[in-house]
């Protein structure tokens, strides 16, 4: 049978899981109660399939290093990693078209692409492997195969697939894709047995998929192909990164694979399956993953509760509650969510309001991941900002300069190699240096343990866009400051 290449699609904002899921750290990176992220679970699930030697991931280029951080501890078998890095989101059709063209060029047009959303939970791995095996047989015959989940209840938040005539290998021709129904229609579909939940999981031979793009969405395929021709690629022993050209990717239509191909093609089949699946689409769904106490409360973190029932509480600090019932309480260092559990789907409205207001809590957390480590904003006010910076061993920030701010660096633990203007020197714990505005500087960690330091910024403008990047070991393009004097 043809080579199988799982393709993990990792994107989206996961707004119904705010304040943990945010634009710069979306739902796939959320840690579940067992400590693993949805992305990690997807990666392990893909690695566990028979004969998988390579995994392709399509994600935002700003999330590549965080994705690698999730993959590397779990990649015991040394599976090769390909990345297609998007400058911004363009929905699933462009992402899958880019994956198909990339795989066709690198690994052959007869390869099979298994498209896996990174933000779904599948608990029955044996059933998943069996469904993939059935789908691969259909895909080898030229079918575009989607996975249809046997509904466990009438659900109005999902799209459905209507089964058509039966095919060999346990599949069916797709009669039609249908949008989210009302409750009465959903109940009728569950009772009728012809409708399945649309999981957004696909298995397809690359040549069959490209052919269907040529027929039904040639503008998407052409624009993606043109973009790939102008995109840069870098590779190592076990890793390849294809960074899509921003200018040409902006010309690609923003459309889902369902609207572009699946709803129009005559070559779509569905494999019915029961996988212990959840899209973890709300805090109610997350709550079900935690064990309940005698009062029906499910808590992560330290709590002191009196007359509290049926609540979900997730916090890194002590939470005290009195006289509460059926609430969702999610506390992060910079935002607190309190919601009626029955209305947890409406959390996306709060995230939407924050985005409209330009509030930073929509986009990022106080702790921000970078290729070299993390930084956490501890406190900020007029003309000052204090950060805790953690730099991994042998990692380095870019050589850079700021127009409007000075920086004072104090080493807390580990060793720092500092470039400050024309000087390069080492700093140990409890030593410091001062960086004047306009002076080129770089921070790196030559040691074998994490470097932890405090940075105190002072100046009339402290935005992250006040940076001129000269060189960078991670291949990030040189950056000119766009900051304007306030």
Residue 164 has pLDDT above 90, yes or no: yes
Classify residue 362: in a domain, yes or no: no
Average of pLDDT values for 4-28?
90
**Domain total of the chain:** 3
Does residue 82 share a domain with residue 162?
A: yes
- Return the closest-CA partner of residue 80 out of 235, 203, 202: 235
CATH code: domain of residue 420: 2.60.120.10
Q: Secondary structure of 273-310 in the HEC alphabet?
A: ECCCEECCCCHHHHHCCCCCCCCCCEEECCEEEECCEC
Which backbone phi and psi does 26 adopt, to 5 degrees?
A: -80, 180
Does residue 326 share a domain with residue 257?
A: no
Q: What local confidence, expressed as pLDDT, does residue 485 receive? A: 38
Classify residue 89: in a domain, yes or no: yes
Helix (H, G, I), strand (E, B) or coil at 422: coil
User: For the chain, what is the radius of gyration of the CA atoms?
Assistant: 25
Does residue 158 share a domain with residue 26?
A: yes
| Structural domain boundaries, residue 39 | 4-278
Average predicted confidence (pLDDT) for the chain: 92
Q: What local confidence, expressed as pLDDT, does residue 51 receive? A: 87
Q: Output 235 or 380, whichever has higher pLDDT.
A: 380
Does residue 179 share a domain with residue 201?
A: yes
Residue 320 has pLDDT above 90, yes or no: yes
β-pair partners for 234: 241
**CA distances, 471 to each of 61, 145, 400, 451 (Å):** 18, 45, 7, 21
Does residue 257 share a domain with residue 290?
A: no
Residue 236 has pLDDT above 80, yes or no: no
Final residue before a domain boundary, out of 237, 255, 278 = 278
Does residue 427 share a domain with residue 395?
A: yes
- Return the closest-CA partner of residue 2 out of 99, 82, 103, 92: 103
pLDDT digits (tens, 9 = 90+) for 66-82: 899 999 899 988 899 99
Classify residue 188: in a domain, yes or no: yes
* Predicted confidence band of residue 486 (pLDDT cuts 50, 70, 90): very low
Does residue 387 share a domain with residue 323?
A: no
Classify residue 385: in a domain, yes or no: yes
Classify residue 477: in a domain, yes or no: no
Q: What is the DSSP string of 44-94?
A: HHHHTSTT--EEEEEEEGGGHHHHHHHHGGG-TT--EEEEEEESS---HHH
Classify residue 130: in a domain, yes or no: yes
pLDDT digits (tens, 9 = 90+) for 360-383: 899 888 898 888 999 999 999 999
Q: Output 108 or 237, whichever has higher pLDDT.
A: 108
Average of pLDDT values for 8-25?
88
Least confident of 145-154, 164-173, 433-442: 164-173
Average of pLDDT values for 213-236?
93
Classify residue 478: in a domain, yes or no: no
- The answer to whether the beta carbons of residues 452 and 414 sit under 8 Å apart is yes
- 416's CB contacts (< 8 A; 6+ apart) are 391, 409, 426, 427, 443, 444, 445, 451, 453
Does residue 16 share a domain with residue 88?
A: yes
Q: Chain-centre distance of CA 431, in angstroms?
A: 38
Does residue 141 share a domain with residue 104?
A: yes
Which backbone phi and psi does 55 adopt, to 5 degrees?
A: -125, 130
Does residue 128 share a domain with residue 210?
A: yes
């Amino acid at each position: 049978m043809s080579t199988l290449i799982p393709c993990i699609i990792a994107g989206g904002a996961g707004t119904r899981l705010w304040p943990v899921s945010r634009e710069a750290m979306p739902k796939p990176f959320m840690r579940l109660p067992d400590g693993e992220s949805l992305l990690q679970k997807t990666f392990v699930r893909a690695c566990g399939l028979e004969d998988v030697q390579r995994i392709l991931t399509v994600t935002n280029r700003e999330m590549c290093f965080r994705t690698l951080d999730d993959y590397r501890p779990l990649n015991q078998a040394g599976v090769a990693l390909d990345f297609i890095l998007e400058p911004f989101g363009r929905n699933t059709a462009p992402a899958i078209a880019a994956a198909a063209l990339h795989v066709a060029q690198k690994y052959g047009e007869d390869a099979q692409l298994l498209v896996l959303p990174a933000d779904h939970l599948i608990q029955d791995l044996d059933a998943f492997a069996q469904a993939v095996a059935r789908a691969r047989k259909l895909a080898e015959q030229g079918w575009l195969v989607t996975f249809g989940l046997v509904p466990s209840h009438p659900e109005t938040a999902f799209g459905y697939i209507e089964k058509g005539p039966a095919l060999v290998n346990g599949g069916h021709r797709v009669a039609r894709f249908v949008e989210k129904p009302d409750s009465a229609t959903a109940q009728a579909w569950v009772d009728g047995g012809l409708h399945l939940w649309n999981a957004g999981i696909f298995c397809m031979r690359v040549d069959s998929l490209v052919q269907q793009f040529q027929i039904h969405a040639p503008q998407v395929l052409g624009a993606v192909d043109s973009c790939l021709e102008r995109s840069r690629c870098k590779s190592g022993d076990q890793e390849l990164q294809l960074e899509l050209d921003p200018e040409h990717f902006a010309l690609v239509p923003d459309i889902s694979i369902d609207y572009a191909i699946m709803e129009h093609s005559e070559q779509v089949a569905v494999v019915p399956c029961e996988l212990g699946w959840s899209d973890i689409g709300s805090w109610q769904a997350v709550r079900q993953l935690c064990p309940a106490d005698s009062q029906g409360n499910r808590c992560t973190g330290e709590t002191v509760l009196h007359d509290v029932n049926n609540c979900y509480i997730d916090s890194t600090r002590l939470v005290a509650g009195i006289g509460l019932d059926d609430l969702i309480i999610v506390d992060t260092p910079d935002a607190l969510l309190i919601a009626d559990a029955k209305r947890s789907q409406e959390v996306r409205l709060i995230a939407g309001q924050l985005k409209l207001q330009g509030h930073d809590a929509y986009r990022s957390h106080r702790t921000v991941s970078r290729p070299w480590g993390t930084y956490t904003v501890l406190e900020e006010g007029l003309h000052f900002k204090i950060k805790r910076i953690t730099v991994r061993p042998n990692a380095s920030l870019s050589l850079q300069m700021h127009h409007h701010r000075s920086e004072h660096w104090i080493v807390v633990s580990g060793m720092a190699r500092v470039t400050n203007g024309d000087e390069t020197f080492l700093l140990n714990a409890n030593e410091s240096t001062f960086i004047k505005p306009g002076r080129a500087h770089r921070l790196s960690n030559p040691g074998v343990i994490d470097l932890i330091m405090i940075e105190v910024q002072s100046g009339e403008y402290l935005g992250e866009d006040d940076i001129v990047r000269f060189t960078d070991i991670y291949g990030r393009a040189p950056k000119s400051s766009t900051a304007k004097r306030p």
